[in-house]
Structure 1
Amino acid sequence: MKRRAAALLCALVLVCQMGLWPARAAEEVCFIAVNSEVLPVSDATMPFWNGEYLYIPASIFTGTVRKELGINYIRTSKNLPILSGSGKALLFDLEKGTVSDGEGTNYYPVAIQRGDEVFVAVSLVTLFFDLNYSQQKVPRGRLVQIYNDKAGLTGKSFADAAIYPMEVRYSEYLRSKEPAQETPDPEPEDPVQTEEPAEGKNVYLCVRAAQGETVEALLDELDRKGDKAAFFCTEEFLAQEGDLLRRMMATGQAVGLAVDASDPERTVTEQLLASNELLYQATCTKTRLVILENEEGQGLQEAERAGYRCVTADLDRSAYALKSTSAADSLLQRITARRGSVTVWLGESVDATGLRAFLEAAEDAEDRCLAITETT
């Protein structure tokens, strides 16, 4: 019954989008993922239920998806779309309402055309071409994952890890629904009035993420104030704290890697690859932001040759605990004394009390706490 209710809701939302409110975004959407990639969302290609069958757009089987799954979408004529791969093909005759393999065998269910898009039943396609699929309830609606043996995570594990990519796709979808804004004619400038220079500065706080409980408390403070920071995660943290990693991604915090350049057993590159793989398993994303600990110069060159962005802080405050109001005031004074934007390395010497005090002091000083990026 729950599946039927979800199907009817999905179909109802689609009908409303196509009929009454074409410019209005759906409150719940159906995402499509192929292996580990979440595809763009649009009203024209939104999956829907028809009876017991879930339909997806045949047009997804092009480009990178075609390479991933080995299926190619061809539309030789208006009424005869074809899906082919592995030496076999499904021919969807839209005019006759049939599906066949070209050798006399017919299949069901048939394709459905909506607008310019042809939709096919995901169960038929995956069964015919020896693929797999799953569907999961997710915060914005539902997620349909089509996958083969190249997929890393599948099912519920993938749905949990793909929260951030789905949020990105949903934001893109909402932006596509916004009406185009006309650019107003510029108002004539007043030669007498001059704009006051902006006060405050950009502050990029960088934290070493090692203890889940501490990091969770710091995230609570950042969310409460609407501020951002960068969390450079140890390999152990990446392996154990998937929920916190996904929370960081979803709330706009920066995620980087903390690597020990003096490790006698593994090179810097080996550590970075292992850490990024753990991050990918938890969030379906990777990062190029790195803090090299115990660095003596050689590891920096190795990391940069591998394409990573090694962060060097303007202020290294890892030896000064940010755990009180007085420590927060001292840090703000150091920042104020410098010109321009300031990057601060706090290491693990920070707790929720100290961070809260600093964020409030920075707000009073009109400073902005932002998440560092690869191009900052």
Structure 2
Amino acid sequence: MRKRAAALVLCLLLMLQITAPSVRAEQSVYFVAVGSNVLPLTDATMPFWSGGYLYISSSIFTGVVWSAVGISHVPANARQPLILYSGEDRSLIFNLDKPYAEDPQGNTYYPGAVVRNGNVFVPASVVASYFGLQYSLIPNVEHGYLVWLRQPGYGLSDEEFATAATYPMASSYAQYLKSKESAQQTTPTPSVPEQDEEETPAVNGKNVYLCLKAGENTAQLLDVLDNAGEKASFFCSLEFLWTQGDLLRRMSASGHTVGILVDGEDSRSVTQQLHEGNEALWRAACTKTRLAYLENADSADLQAAQEDGFRCIYPDLDRGSYSLSGTAQAEALLERITDRRGSVMVWLGENVSAGGLNAFLDLAQEAEDRCLAVTETT
């Protein structure tokens, strides 16, 4: 029945597409669709990226969105936080003065809400994960990108839905341009001296989550990443966590993420290593992490770590046994990444030189790929 309904939606949208309005391209935008509904496009509710997360407006969780995914919201005000809820037992509480959200049991979810131009935005990945939704960021649609939230088992692939939604997006974009033009006509433009505007490059590539093993050349790798304006995640042994406080503080301050590297063959249990690692990280940088990478571990170790609240990463591409030391290796890595669809999490391990990483970042930027740090909800 669910597949039949999805097919019906596809047919209806494709019929509407035949008469899609023609609009001129003004800028790259982010459309939002929930279920089969493409929502109105406005600057006030436009999704945006911050700290490696895509944020969506909390105000969309009403009306057709409530009908499609069963999530509604209680707006934030001076006396209460923003609350997203589904039914009686599932709710996320966003205190605007805290960098995380909480559920009724006191569990925390990072990151929290962001206030922008008076509107409260929430991280799409956190909301989708907590409420059991599927979430896609579909690139290369007409005029920009499509953020799509829906219940699991919707019945259409990202490509099929984007094709079917061509007309609703074109109609929404036409209304968006019309409202902007009306606003420009009614609002006098102040006279200002002409100046060169900083051009924001279009972003059409992949999100590449780089995961490295911290070691002797970590400082040089951080120099390369910071000079390129890119981010990565460093997974650190207990020895590194206890002895390299300056580097840990630098990682945290510059937007990279720190994870704990655990050895399943160590005499200490996995959970003992994780808690000791967080104790060392707290002493060094006044922060803790739930990210972990387990080496030489079995399924019982993995289960113990997850039950203790840690997020063990599973790379899409494991290049730990390969070196990244020059242009040839960088080209081979980028080719492997390009062959994969969607975002890619890459484990590079410790066989990475500063020159090799710099060559890869140059190639990735040419391909308009974004190198990001893994987060606890990526």
Higher RCO structure (Cα 8 Å, ≥6 apart) = 2
Over alpha carbons, which structure has the higher Rg? 1
- Provide TM-score, normalisation by structure 2: 0.48
